[in-house]
Structure 1
Amino acid sequence: MSRMLGQWGVFFRGFVEHPRMVGSIIPSSGFTIRKMLEPVKWDECRLFVEYGPGVGTFCAPVLERLRRDGRLIVIDTNELYIDYLNRTIDDSRFLAVLGSAADVELIVQDAGFDHADYVLSGLPFSTLPNGVGPEIAAATHRVLRPGGAFLVYQFSAAARDFMAKHFAHIEQGFELWNVPPCRLFWGWKDDAA
């Protein structure tokens, strides 16, 4: 089925095989992508990290905006998605890692960076195994540079609850033109952190 339907088939297969780890049955809309990426200062972004990239819905828009010496690291626990991304994205700035977002600090360090400028997540925080959501939020805060941001799109407010323990400044939004409509959060790491 994934061969016949291409990207949609791969995404749907990933959802069927791991429904608790995939946030939606279809990829995010262009409206969600634009709104989520709007606050990013691309000229200052050397490392952009994404958790749960799925079939790469955000990858092309990020790579289009990312500076020439920048890097995009995507992290997913689903080998199906990592294999698909490695086959379909041919950009020297792109790195797909099979692993857990909770290990972001080690992944970033292994890629030769001290910190990330922005981290994007569409992971379904409300259905992650116990303890994983708080662990990811804490690791994300530690890996971000001061002034960087954790960008999260969700269908529930669970992610915001985990983010609030680490990010004092969280902006919120909502995107109606997505299936289903989703909540948007931008958690900014304090410059003094």
Structure 2
Amino acid sequence: MSTTQTPGASLAEPALPASPWGMFLRGFLKQPAMVGSIVPSSGRLIRRMLAPVDWAGTKLFVEYGPGVGTFSRAILDRLPADGVYLAIDTCPDFVRYLRQTIRDDRMRAVHGSAADVERIVAEHGFEKADYVLSGLPFSTLPDGVGDAIADATRAVIRPGGAFLVYQFAPKVHALLTPRWTAIDHAVEWWNVPPANLYWAHQPPARPRD
């Protein structure tokens, strides 16, 4: 059998690590500034972070930097049958890994930047997101990127929704406070390393006269 490649055909993509831990470490080594830790979040952090979400009223849940899907399965377990989970990551390996390992029609794994969330949400048929979750390490992002992401997030969340953020450094608080006035904060010690949790609540819609 000939092994000559058909003109115009692309070579097979390299195999991804079989385990989430191996994939997580690979992503950290390739993009350390975009991965907050080499240790995935604990189950307790995940449950606590997602606890305030009104799942029954959620049609679109967005996550920035889903990585190997540490939160993905928990989100899909809670998301209504007609909901959509939009996972946005700048690392193509993570996106491919999610598509290969999570078979759920409600999940849309997208290679892109969180700063482009408004465009990405619109491309998937929505005007607004109900909730946005982020574990992106805002303290290590290039100058201006954190502000661009925060501005885009503030614009894309529907009234009454929320921006859910978990961080290992408190720098993100300086991005949240100029844009949201109702912010809840907690620390999850049962995690490596301990994490700051923030829930920035979007103002509810104003009643019509």
TM-score by length of 1: 0.97
Deviations 1:69-125 (A, max 9, x none): 000000000011001001001101000000000000000000000100000000000
Choose the corresponding residue for 1:88, options 101, 106, 131.
101
1:57-96 alignment runs, 5 A limit: 57-96=70-109
Question: In structure 1, what is the Cα distance between the partners aligned to 2:205 and 2:77?
Answer: 31
Using the TM superposition, give the Cα deviation of residue 153 of structure 1 relative to its aligned residue in structure 2, in angstroms: 0.1
Contact residue 16 and residue 93 of structure 2 kept, 8 A: no
1:20 matched to which residue of 2? 33
Deviations 1:25-61 (A, max 9, x none): 1110001000000000000000000000000000000
Q: What SS class does the counterpart of residue 43 from structure 1 fall into?
A: helix
The structure with more radius of gyration: 2
The alignment covers a number of residue pairs equal to 192
Choose the corresponding residue for 2:131, options 118, 126, 136.
118
Question: In structure 2, what is the Cα distance between the partners aligned to 1:28 and 1:124?
Answer: 13
1:149 matched to which residue of 2? 162
Using the TM superposition, give the Cα deviation of residue 192 of structure 1 relative to its aligned residue in structure 2, in angstroms: 4.5
Structure 2: runs of 5 or more not aligned: 1-14
Contact residue 23 and residue 124 of structure 1 kept, 8 A: yes
2:151 matched to which residue of 1? 138
Q: What SS class does the counterpart of residue 40 from structure 1 fall into?
A: coil
Contact residue 16 and residue 97 of structure 2 kept, 8 A: no
Using the TM superposition, give the Cα deviation of residue 157 of structure 1 relative to its aligned residue in structure 2, in angstroms: 1.1
Contact residue 2 and residue 13 of structure 1 kept, 8 A: no
Report the AA paired with residue 134 of structure 1: D
2:45 matched to which residue of 1? 32
Tell me which stretches of 4 or more aligned residues in structure 1 moved more than 3 Å. none
1:179 matched to which residue of 2? 192
Deviations 1:158-193 (A, max 9, x none): 111101111110000110011000000000011158
Deviations 1:137-168 (A, max 9, x none): 11001000000000000011111110111111
Sequence identity percentage: 55
Question: In structure 2, what is the Cα distance between the partners aligned to 1:2 and 1:89?
Answer: 14
Q: What SS class does the counterpart of residue 34 from structure 2 fall into?
A: coil
Question: In structure 2, what is the Cα distance between the partners aligned to 1:166 and 1:80?
Answer: 32
Contact residue 175 and residue 183 of structure 1 kept, 8 A: yes
Report the AA paired with residue 57 of structure 1: T
Question: In structure 1, what is the Cα distance between the partners aligned to 2:107 and 2:31?
Answer: 25
1:109 matched to which residue of 2? 122
